[in-house]
Copies of this chain bind each other. A is one copy, B any other.
Amino acid sequence: MTTLNKVVLAYSGGLDTSAIVPWLKEHYGGCEVVCFAGDVGQGADELEGIEEKAVASGASSCHVVDLNDEFVRDYVWPTLKSGAVYEGRYLLGTSMARPVIAKAMVELAVSVGADGICHGCTGKGNDQVRFEHAVYALAPELKIIAPWRTWGFKGRTDLIRYCEAKGVPVRSTAEKIWSRDRNLWHISHEGGALEDPWNAPPDDVWMLTRHVRDTPDEPASVLIEFESGVPVKVDGAALGPAGMVERLNDIAGQHGVGRIDIVENRMVGMKSRGCYETPGGTVLMEALRALEELVLDREARRLRDDLALQFSHVVYEGRWYGNAAREAIQAAIDSLMEPVSGEVVVELFKGHATAVQRRSPNSVHDEDFASFEADEVYNQGDAEGFIRLVSLPQAIRARKQRETAQGVS
């Protein structure tokens, strides 16, 4: 048996992590357990009374740290700027939250002199990778404990029985139907009937967004202001990073915006089906993409698209710290987005978020150039030479083939 002195535990107040508290003490030589909860917008219901629950489960203390603005500013904004969307659909809500939580938790572990760190992630998912990767990069000397890969408990019944035996108060006993993860940016739903992709997502799975049939019959509009690819105001109000996302979640959710249904490839080599809701994030993605269209030239845009694909994998895998590739991609994106400032009006209606108006002081769209009438700057005759040179390889090839064919006959 490994003996540890003090273990910091990622604690949610739910059944799993409540059971982990006594289990750690039992299996690591009576170690002290310090609970940690990073507030990334999972909701008051989850955080309320969490300190008391932790102590009642046997923890020595519970630290709740507000990470909302840091989460949005340092993880969400860079990802938004890059345009990263995992496998064409997933806006990376859970992926971005894990590193900020793990970092704060490692900092706590170091400050309280812990020698172990523990999480309640399953052994089949991505979160264990994201979490532990951060620990290896930031404090590799910490012993990582992942009970779900180790213990013999098979499901909730086992856990409830163990909690009762250890005197840990357990509130809910009902089986959970969906596996959920919520933060400011999104909520994910997995498991249960969703696992068969021939099943349409049932209505009761969704939480943040109304069904389209239940949305208002009048559209709403929201004006978003960006500076260098970063949202700075919503309808004229500088609400701060977290505040803007909250505001947009609220209004976009009412209009049914932001539902995603995907069968994705996990890092660990298997597929899983997820239903995600990202109301405010969907609005921001639409707005920023519409704005950059005014500013980025063809090559800059193509590079942005290419980097977005690469960054989507980096972010999905949660490889944030000590990762030179991540830093380099962000440096390139920051450079590209530097002039992407301006205003976008997004219309919300029946599940759609549509950028309907956009302008930028750095727009290189010019009505005078683009219109089909004659002008003085662009000489239409230029196109002839352009096309001829662009087509020269094909023209040479065609001529060569003809010569060869004639030579043969």
Contact = CB atoms under 8 A, between A and B. Distances in A.
Interface of A: 83, 87-88, 122-125, 128-129, 132-133, 136-140, 146, 148-150, 154-155, 179, 191, 195-201, 212-213, 217, 261-273, 289-290, 293-294, 296-303, 305-306, 309-310, 313, 317, 319, 321-325, 327-336, 339, 345, 347, 349-352, 354-359, 361-367, 369-374, 377-400, 404
A177 to B, nearest CB: 13
Contact of A328 (B200, B272, B335): B335
B129 A390 contact: yes
Contacts of A309: 302, 305-306, 309
Contact of A390 (B261, B269, B313): B269
Nearest to A133: B391
Contacts of A358: 197-198, 263
A367 B128 CA distance: 20
A299 B270 contact: no
Contacts of A201: 356
Given A398-B138, A398-B322, A370 B293 contact: no
Copies in the complex: 4
Contact of A271 (B155, B199, B213, B294): B294
A324 B313 contact: no
Nearest to A367: B195
B324 A380 contact: no
B361 A404 contact: yes
B332 A133 contact: no
A123 to B, nearest CB: 3
B354 A268 contact: no
B302 A324 contact: no
Contact of A386 (B263, B289, B319, B389): B389
Contacts of A264: 293
A219 to B, nearest CB: 9
B331 A393 contact: no
A178 to B, nearest CB: 11
Contacts of A392: 136, 268-270, 369, 378
A351 to B, nearest CB: 6
Given A122-B380, A271-B366, A328 B300 contact: yes
